[in-house]
Amino acid sequence: MAPFVHPDLQPLVAKMTLFDTILFYMIHFVDKIVLWHRLPVLLGAIYLGIRRRLHNRYNLLHVGGVSGHNYDKQDYAYRTPAGTCNHPDDHLVGSQGTIFGRNMPPTTLNYGLLEPHPAVVASKLLARKSFIDTGKQFNMIACSWIQFMIHDWIDHLEDTEQVEISAPDGYSSGCPLKTFKFFKTKKFQTGSTDMKDGSVIYGNNEKGMGRVRTFRDGKLRISEDGLLEHDEKGIPVSGDVRNTWAGYSLLQALFVKEHNAVCDMLKEHYPDFDDEQLYRYARLVTSAVIAKIHTIDWTVELLKTDTLLAAMRINWYGFMGKKFKDLFGNIFGPELSGLVGLKEPRDHGVPYSLTEEFVSVYRMHALLPEEMVLRNIKPTTEEDKCPPILEKVPMEALIGKQGGKRLSKIGMEQMLVSMGHQSCGAVALWNFPTWLRNLVAHDIDGEDRPDPVDMATMEVYRDRERGVARYNEFRRNMLMIPISKWEDLTDDEEVIEGLKDVYGDDVEKLDLIVGLHAEKKIKGRLEADRFFTTNFNAKTYTDEGLEWVNNTETLKDVIDRHFPEMTEKWMTSSSAFSVWGSMPDPKKFMPLYLR
Ligand code: HEM
């Protein structure tokens, strides 16, 4: 008789406590017989809760040391430039320049860096054949949003040594660049793994912060047309200026507006605050608004199931929900009252950092299309919520410096509405943007690099170079049942054929990025941050600031604040992250936990 626990998972289970072993049996049973997302909401949420507990205990590995010191929290009641002074006892935890953690040990497989050749994987499995979109579910605002978040959270540092990758014989026709060079990832690198602190608009250090501030009334620099200012070299004045495009700069500008609006509100209520106080409180409030939108709006739209809706709301508000939390605060701890407002940050015994594996699963460049569809927002009929198409602009024209110029001609409102109405790409095989395979990337100052790169090939190489587990090893380490044949991954014949062509029958060889793009999709960490836990209170945020965060639930709320008529006129969907012209989510009368 086959053992109950999959043999590959037995060594991991052997390390667990008795209680955790019992919990593991429960989720393993669900994994074996039924997919968790088909469970009723409450059971699904319990399944996810168990997984969260087990992953917190067994999948957070600390890499390197954090050698910061203790400090007086009263002296740092605000977010510092480099994200220091966030952990209550160690001033360096979660700051710029700390080492990436891991969710699992580096790969133990002995495949070579070029096995199979990354250019072959890219050409045969990733390269876009024709654009696959996400239907009505996710729009170009959602696509730009995740780039905006990624630039807030992570940043790998580079070595000074270069790698050169050349397409092997016979494949050069599938590769726009026959050969290209890029810098290796720094070995014992101190990549930056910031907290969710809004550094994408505020900057990561004193110099960057000084660049974006006006030093008047706490405000950040923004031009008259509502878009980012540019310096004499044409580089945007913002927190992170690398690999920007018009959609991403637009979100930076929207949240600069939000920051400045918070400053106005605070100044009205607290007229004695000086520039520095206004800036610090407004940064706290704006960063919390961004984190909240990411948790209960973007992620919910991405995953689009009742169970995930419940789970993400439980993360922020707790099982008892928003009304209860608004009335009583966080009195019952994380499960019942949510992670936000906890008495102490929780890092599960491991200093907070983002992980190498986290970076890898966010390799979602397939969200980017080949062209942006610009809409005419001066329509003829009042009722028409879907503005007519004006022009299709290739994405190349919207990236970097030329993209900044193009955006100022288009204007913020037209771009926002157009992005709202356009579906973004699906995370699927054969959907990697063609233009990203011959890309002039930017250096840290936003300047063009001398050598163009093939991003699809490079992404395969990067995961291997950083020792990230391949797909099946990743599954095992995440306590998931590994695949033993391609049919376990997908029932799409074409995909199976493509995988066999590149990897033969060796499912262990499958690269993580390819596996994640190929697998069947289901249909549709805040708690370590003291500004979302111990210090999520009126003393740190001000009464009015906390009220602002509590009253902002979605990106639509932010858009409505800055463009009062826009969504009324142009949006029928329930979320600003779905295609705006789509029908709103149907009203469900059954309470969420009973679905
Ligand atoms: C115009 C749009 C974009 C451009 C030009 C761009 C370009 C780049 C470049 C040049 C890199 C560095 C590659 C390396 O050296 O390894 C990178 C990394 C990355 N990008 Fe994008 N990207 C864009 C949009 C996006 C979007 C929409 C996502 C969605 C999730 C995304 C996710 C990532 C991730 C996860 C990394 C790895 C970061 C790291 O290794 O530290 N990017 N991108």
* Contacts (Cβ under 8 Å, ≥6 apart) of 109: 469, 470, 473, 508
Phi/psi of residue 89, each to 5°?
-110, -15
Ligand 1 neighbourhood includes 143 CB (under 6 angstroms): yes
CB atoms within 10 A of CB 197: 28
Nearest to 552 by CA among 303, 265, 148: 265
How many Cβ atoms from other residues are within 10 Å of residue 502's Cβ?
17
C-alpha separations of 376 from 229, 295, 430, 559 in Å: 25, 32, 31, 19
Q: Which residues contact 376 (CB under 8 A, 6 or more apart)?
A: 387, 388, 389, 390
Q: Which of 185, 192, 243 should be mutated for ligand 1, with most atoms under 8 A from CB?
A: 243
Pairing between strand 154-155 and 192-193?
Answer: antiparallel
Which element (helix H / strand E) includes 247?
helix 246-269
Q: Which residue has the tokens 């912060």?
A: 209
Interval between CA 559 and ligand 1 midpoint (Å): 25
| Residue nearest atom 4 in ligand 1 by C-alpha distance | 243
Residues forming the active site: 362
Q: Whose CA is nearest to atom 5 of ligand 1?
A: 243
Q: How far is the CA of 360 from the centre of ligand 1 (A)?
A: 11
- Nearest residue to 468 (alpha-carbon basis) of 100, 149, 13, 117: 100
| 3-state SS, one letter per residue, for 318-382 | CCCHHHHHHHHCCCCCHHHHCCCCCCCCCCCCCCCCCEHHHHHHCCCHHHCCCEEEEECCCCCCC
Task: Read off the tokens for 120.
Answer: 């072959």
CA-based nearest residue to 457, from 53, 125, 169, 63: 125
Q: Is 197 in the pocket of ligand 1 (CB under 6 A)?
A: no
CA distances from 221 to 69, 213, 224 (A): 34, 6, 10
Give the angle 474-297-51 at the CA atoms, nearest 5°. 35
ipTM of the complex: 0.98
Q: How far is the CA of 387 from the centre of ligand 1 (A)?
A: 30
Taking a C-beta distance cutoff of 8 angstroms, is the pair 196, 526 a contact?
yes
* The two three-digit tokens of residue 487, written as one number: 């049919």
Phi, psi of 198 (to 5 degrees): 75, 20
Q: How far apart are CA 344 and CA 88, in angstroms?
A: 8
Assigned token pair, 101: 């953690």
Specify the residue with its C-alpha closest to ligand 1, atom 6.
Answer: 243
Predicted local confidence at residue 589, as pLDDT: 74
Q: What is the DSSP string of 271-294?
A: TT--HHHHHHHHHHHHHHHHHHHI
289 CB under 6 A from ligand 1?
no
Probe ligand 1: pick from 161, 370, 455, 458, max atoms within 8 Å of CB?
A: 455
Which residue type does 444 have?
I
Distance of CA 509 to the CA centre of its chain: 27
pLDDT by residue for the chain (595 residues), tens only, comes to: 678 999 999 999 999 999 999 999 999 999 998 788 889 989 998 999 999 999 989 988 877 654 555 656 566 566 655 555 555 555 555 555 566 778 888 899 999 999 999 999 999 999 999 999 998 889 999 999 999 998 777 778 788 899 999 999 877 778 899 999 999 998 754 444 455 678 889 987 777 788 999 999 999 999 999 999 999 999 999 988 889 999 999 999 999 999 999 999 999 999 999 999 999 999 999 999 999 999 889 988 888 888 888 887 887 777 776 776 677 676 666 666 566 666 666 655 555 567 888 889 999 999 999 999 999 998 666 667 789 999 999 999 999 999 999 999 999 999 999 999 999 999 999 999 999 999 999 988 888 999 899 999 999 999 999 999 999 999 999 999 999 999 999 999 999 999 999 999 999 999 999 999 999 887 654 566 677 777 888 888 999 999 999 899 999 999 999 999 999 999 999 999 999 999 888 777 777 777 7
Q: Kindly give the number of the ligand 1 atom that is closest to the alpha carbon of 158.
A: 15
Do residues 451 and 181 lie in contact, with contact meaning Cβ atoms separated by under 8 Å?
Answer: yes
Residue 285: CB partners within 8 Å, gap ≥ 6?
262, 541, 545, 546, 548, 549
Could you tell me the distance, in angstroms and rounded to a whole number, from the CA of residue 365 to the centre of ligand 1? 7
Give the type of residue at 264.
Answer: D
363 lines ligand 1 (CB under 6 A): yes
pLDDT of residue 305: 83
Q: Look at residue 490 and give its three-state secondary structure.
A: coil
Residue closest to 11 by CA, chosen among 108, 115, 155: 108
* Distance from residue 460's CA to the centre of ligand 1 (Å): 13
**For the chain, which domains are there?**
1-63 (no CATH), 72-376+383-594 (1.10.640.10)
Query: What distances in angstroms separate CA 187 from CA 160, 191, 228, one per listed residue?
Result: 11, 10, 35
CA of 151 to the centre of ligand 1 (A): 8
Give me the long-range contacts of 489-492 (CB less than 8 A, separation at least 24).
489/515, 489/518, 489/519, 489/520, 490/518, 490/519, 490/520, 491/520, 492/518
Rounded CA gap, 188 and 190, in Å?
7
362 lines ligand 1 (CB under 6 A): yes
Q: Is the shortest distance between the CB of 357 and ligand 1 below 6 Å?
A: no
